[in-house]
Amino acid sequence: MLEPHQLGQEGERLAADYLVTKGYRIVERNYRYHRNEIDIVALHHQTLCFIEVKTRSTAEKGHPSEAVTQSKQREIIKAARAYLAFSGENERDCRFDVVAVKVENMDENPLMSYVIEHFPDAFWATS
């Protein structure tokens, strides 16, 4: 059985692979600004996407996307603003996506199965 940190890493890997198959170009993974982090920064057409990945192995704590609370959104927005300031990408259209990964059969890896749900434009940053 994967430890929670390993489960999160595996979910992020699965999400990045999925996004690439959907035409996204991964620009950066695990971008950190102080204690805030963006799991994936990617380009989709001309839009810069800040993507939060949540992975769950059970439904015990609810749907993975439910973990992207308003507090978590504020942290992601802070990191995104720093990314834009430091990268010079201020003129590009941006959005915030959430990718939910539900993993099953973890003890039977490599027969592990998973379901990925992508929520483009999942939340907005306010001024």
List average pLDDT for each run of 10 residues in the chain, which is 127 residues long: 83 97 98 97 97 92 94 96 92 95 72 90 87
Residues 35-62: b if buried by 16+ CB within 10 A, e if exposed: ebebbbbbebeeebbbbbbbbbbeeeee
Q: Is the pTM of this model over 0.85?
A: yes
Residue 59 contacts residue 107 (beta carbons within 8 Å)? no
Dihedrals φ, ψ of 121, to 5°?
55, 45
Per-residue confidence (pLDDT) for residue 112, from 0 to 100:
72
Per-residue confidence (pLDDT) for residue 110, from 0 to 100:
57
List, in order, residues 6 or more apart from 89 with CB less than 8 Å away: 48, 83
Separation of alpha carbons 20 and 27, rounded Å: 11
Separation of alpha carbons 98 and 64, rounded Å: 9
Per-residue confidence (pLDDT) for residue 98, from 0 to 100:
98
Per-residue confidence (pLDDT) for residue 60, from 0 to 100:
87
Residue 13 contacts residue 34 (beta carbons within 8 Å)? no
Per-residue confidence (pLDDT) for residue 85, from 0 to 100:
94
Pick the CATH number of 4-123 from 1.10.260.40, 2.40.50.140, 3.40.640.10, 3.40.1350.10: 3.40.1350.10
Separation of alpha carbons 127 and 69, rounded Å: 18
Per-residue confidence (pLDDT) for residue 22, from 0 to 100:
98
Q: Which of 20, 25, 12, 22 is nearest to 99 (CA)?
A: 12
Per-residue confidence (pLDDT) for residue 127, from 0 to 100:
60
List, in order, residues 6 or more apart from 84 with CB less than 8 Å away: 90, 94
